[in-house]
Amino acid sequence: MDRTKKVLHIKNVFDKLYGDAICSLNYKTPFELLVATILAAQCTDARVNIVTKDLFKKYKTIDDFANANLEELMEDIRPTGFFRNKAKNIIGTAKMILSDFGGKVPSNREDLLKLPGVGRKTANLILGDIYNIPALVIDTHAKRITNRLGLTKETDPAKIEFDLDDVVPKEYQAKFCHQLVFFGRDICDARKPKCGICPVSDVCEYYKKSKKDKKSAS
């Protein structure tokens, strides 16, 4: 089965299991999603959601973040880790959006990548979830699972993104990445994947190799 057909097969399965999969970060505005994603670097989404529950009550607008006291913001986001750099990036991003982009989160990758603390993963999440622009978010789940399934042999996130862009339908890209997160948490765990109950093991290269290795060892 070629990669394009494999993706469509996986899509049919995922749409049944995770048809309502959405971003696991809580937000109400585009800028809140941007802040939450910056905070999510090296931190779980669950912890970020705990922090932003109070954070977004305290800082309600982009102006609030732009005018925030650095030391105070650092303490507000301390539980997410790397809080010094994250606080600087959030304030810097807020100021740049106000000064360079008319107070609106940019809707193109080139401008998003100019913002402090924003890489391709964050930019692509904003494009897909806020502006409905086809984009692939290559997080740890996407990297691990697409390699295991045999959808790519690349290991660098940017190369994985470009590789998958050729085979994942444009209109499905944002949802696919959210579904991978759900699938990664439910089934395809980093340390102990539940291959025995995996709904896509029939097209999984990792599963095929595991079965072959077990036969060789017996």
pLDDT digits (tens, 9 = 90+) for 112-122: 999 999 999 99
| Domains of the chain, earliest start first | 3-21+137-217 (1.10.1670.10), 30-131 (1.10.340.30)
Q: Are 193 and 187 in contact (CB under 8 A)?
A: yes
Judged against a pLDDT cut of 70, whether residue 170 lies above it is answered with: yes
- Please identify every residue annotated as catalytic: 121, 139
User: Is this model's pTM higher than 0.85 or not?
Assistant: yes
Judged against a pLDDT cut of 80, whether residue 129 lies above it is answered with: yes
Q: Are 49 and 213 in contact (CB under 8 A)?
A: no
**What mean pLDDT is predicted for residues 130-155?**
96
What's the Rg (C-alpha) of the chain?
19
Q: Are 167 and 151 in contact (CB under 8 A)?
A: yes
Q: How close are the terminal C-alpha atoms of the chain, in Å?
A: 28
- Average pLDDT along the chain: 96
| Per-residue model confidence (pLDDT) at position 1 | 84
> What pLDDT digit, counting tens, does each position of 27-42 carry?
999 999 999 999 999 9
Q: Are 40 and 126 in contact (CB under 8 A)?
A: no
pLDDT band at 216 (very low <50, low <70, confident <90, very high): low
**What mean pLDDT is predicted for residues 146-157?**
96
**What mean pLDDT is predicted for residues 36-57?**
96
Judged against a pLDDT cut of 90, whether residue 6 lies above it is answered with: yes
pLDDT band at 218 (very low <50, low <70, confident <90, very high): low
| Per-residue model confidence (pLDDT) at position 90 | 98
pLDDT band at 65 (very low <50, low <70, confident <90, very high): very high
| Per-residue model confidence (pLDDT) at position 212 | 77
